Structure 1
Amino acid sequence: MRKRLSKIIRYASISLLVLLVALYVVFVRFSAPPSDKALMELFQTSPTPLTIAKWHFKDFSFRVLKTALNPAKPTLVFVHGTIGSCANFEAYMNDSTLTEHFNMLSYDRIGYNYNDPHPVQESIAFERDMLHSILDQLPNDNTILVGYSYGGPIALATRKKLKKVVLLAPAVYSAVEPMPWMVNLYRWPMTRWMIPKVWQEASKEKLSHRSDLQNFEKTWASTPNQVISMHGNSDWIVPLENSTYLQKQLPSSRFQLIPLHDAGHDLVWSRFEPIKQQLLKLKD
């Protein structure tokens, strides 16, 4: 009986180990930014052709995914969060109705590009200036910024006058910035090796985000733009209090909060339809 029990435990342990390794491999592959080839495969049936370009800012190069920029259409510029890439907005850039009415542009922030040798810059000011280098090539009065999660404060930090700024679950308020336990796996040198490179970069950005936000969060009211924030009331990663904080700072004439019932931090994907409908209201 003891032999049989020992054999069962051994086989169960091996099976559990194999499962954990398999889950880890899937986790790494899912979270890694896609290669250029894989990225274009995501858009092979897109109603509007998209191209990949390398743009430059200071000593950095970064990947830009965009449709042809028709001057008769407004341009949606998407800013991804932590962790993320330009592929995060696949559903929007593949949607026939949105591509009919908008130009589309999405880019990889430094540290999140495929095979990017550079670390994240851990600076909203750097990210804002890099975003400005993109906006300098677009007609600002016909450009709509869409910032998701950490991309929210980057979009909000711009002082360029734009057609509109749309925030999706923006992480803009340091007092309610949670620190997930998983970040400790990066903090601890003994376990850091277990973390995929792109998640190491995300952990660094997460750890510095709270203090960096304090340089900006009292200035949000000075934005020259009209701002819409869509936020899930079940978001525990970036709580709704971030958007209600903005609501207290900005006058109702320049700020609209759209709470999404039972939505979490994955609203970019899980609440595609209401976000799409809101974007379509901005086409004229």
Structure 2
Amino acid sequence: MEFRMSLREMDDYYAGYQKPRIVSFPFDGRTVNYAEAGDKTKPLVLFVHGSPGSWSAFADFLRDSSLVANFHLIAPDRPGFGHSNFGRAEPSLKKQSEFLYQVLNRYPEKKAILVGHSLGGPVIAQMAMDFPDNVRGLLFVAPSIDPALEPDEWFRPLLRNFVVRTFTPISLVVSNEEIIDLKEELEMMTDGWKSLKTPVYMLQGDQDTLVPMENAYYPGKFMPDSLIHIQLLSGVNHFIPWSHPQEIIKGINYLKALP
């Protein structure tokens, strides 16, 4: 239930492949941890996982032969997950954006394609709003971005109860701390969408029961249609990175090919 991969598990998972390099460095009293693969001379792709999760949500992509040969691939652990201070939640999307920018800032000569799944979606949107000069394109995968579509889940306040927290896996406690305030966080981003000039590739399954598919149309309320490509997947649920990885690879190549 930790949703993270140990170094020993990495050895097994990447047997026969080039194992990603794990990089950790301090920032603002926290640890920034990420996995890195591919060719550093090629375009940069940054994968941002959902909630709960860790960089290992994209472990398959970091050993995909076409991606490894043609891209510089980075998958960080968001704050509170993986090995980025596991258990220490950061509900603020602005602070998460600043946290992940520290990774991009290590490669200032590059503009990155950002890939965000689920709650990783609003995080990459916030990064594009805060650091537009570092972002080449946004690939949203079943993103939670429309505040009007955020559910009011009765059980989430209960997970803050001390006794309940004691018996709840740490990753789920961190996830709850993010999601319980997500609607308000998304509302604070509303004006930022109007300023985005970054190309968007939207992937959404029409059988997603966790994130309503109508989220796919939210950027179109603020951004010109010319910047947005929407790809609806028939019969597909929320877990696109595992069920349809080829669709994500297609989106990455689409954004790479744009002028």
Query: What displacement does 1:97 show?
Result: 1.4
Post-superposition CA distance 1:197-216 (Å, at most 9, x none): 11111011110111111110
Q: Label 1:40 to 1:220 Cα distance change in 2 as closer, same or farther (>3 A).
A: farther
Q: Name the CA distance, whole Å, in 1 between partners of 2:75 and 2:99.
A: 13
The answer on 1:153 being equivalent to 2:118 is: no
Quick one: distance in 2 between partners of 1:113 and 1:62?
10
Match of 1:65 among 9, 30, 35: 35
Detail structure 1 runs of 4+ shifted over 6 Å in the superposition.
none
Judge conservation of contact 1:169–1:265 (CA < 8 Å) in 2.
yes
Cross-structure match for 2:47: 78
> How far off is 1:187 after superposition?
4.0
1:38 matches 2:9? yes
Whether the 8 Å CA contact 1:157–1:223 is kept in 2: the answer is no
Deviation at residue 180 of structure 1 after TM alignment: 4.7
Residue 165 in structure 1 maps to residue 138 in structure 2: yes
| 1:211-230 CA-partner distances (Å, limit 9, x unpaired) | 11111033213123111111
1:172-201 per-residue CA deviation (whole Å, 9 max, x = no partner) reads 111101245663651444433221011111
Q: Distance in 1 between matches of 2:15 and 2:233?
A: 31
Q: CA deviation at 1:103?
A: 1.2
Query: Which string of whole-angstrom CA distances, capped at 9 and with x for unpartnered residues, describes residues 88-113 of structure 1?
Result: 00121111111111111001111102
1:78 counterpart SS class: strand
User: Normalising to structure 1: TM-score of the pair?
Assistant: 0.81
Deviation, structure 1 residue 280: 2.9
Which 5+ residue runs of structure 1 have no aligned equivalent?
Answer: 1-27
Inter-CA distance 75–97: structure 2 relative to 1 (3 Å threshold): same
Q: CA deviation at 1:139?
A: 4.6
Show the counterpart of 2:103.
Answer: 134
- Kept in 2, the 8 Å contact 1:140–1:163? The answer is no
2:190 & 2:12 partners in 1: Cα distance? Answer: 39
Root-mean-square deviation (CA, aligned residues, Å) is 2.1
Mind listing any 5+ residue stretches in structure 2 that lack a counterpart?
none
Aligned-residue identity in percent:
25
Q: Equivalent residues in 2 for 1:66-215 (5 A)?
A: 66-67=36-37, 69-71=39-41, 73-114=42-83, 116=85, 119-139=88-108, 141-158=110-127, 159-161=131-133, 162-180=135-153, 183=156, 186-215=159-188
Deviates more, 1:31-40 or 1:167-176: 31-40
Where does residue 231 of structure 2 map in the other structure?
A: 258
2:208 maps to 1:239: no
Q: Distance in 2 between matches of 1:188 and 1:59?
A: 27
State whether residues 128 and 157 of structure 1, in contact with CA within 8 Å, keep that contact through their aligned partners in structure 2.
yes
Asked whether the equivalents of residues 32 and 99 of structure 2 are also in contact (C-alpha less than 8 Å), the reply is no
TM-score (norm. length: structure 2): 0.89
Structure 1 CA distance for aligned equivalents of residues 79 and 154 of structure 2:
25
Shift in Å, 1:60? 0.8
* Partner Cα distance (1:136, 1:106) in 2: 14
SS of corresponding position for 1:263 = coil
* Cα 1:267–1:117 shift into 2, 3 Å: closer
Matches of 1:267 and 1:185 in 2, distance apart?
30
Query: CA separation in 2, counterparts of 1:36 and 1:122?
Result: 28
Q: Is the 8 A contact 2:43 2:112 kept in 1?
A: yes
With 116-125 and 148-157 compared, the bigger mean Cα shift is at 116-125
Q: Secondary structure at the match of 1:45?
A: coil
Cα separation, 1, equivalents of 2:199 and 2:109:
13
Equivalence for 1:56: 26
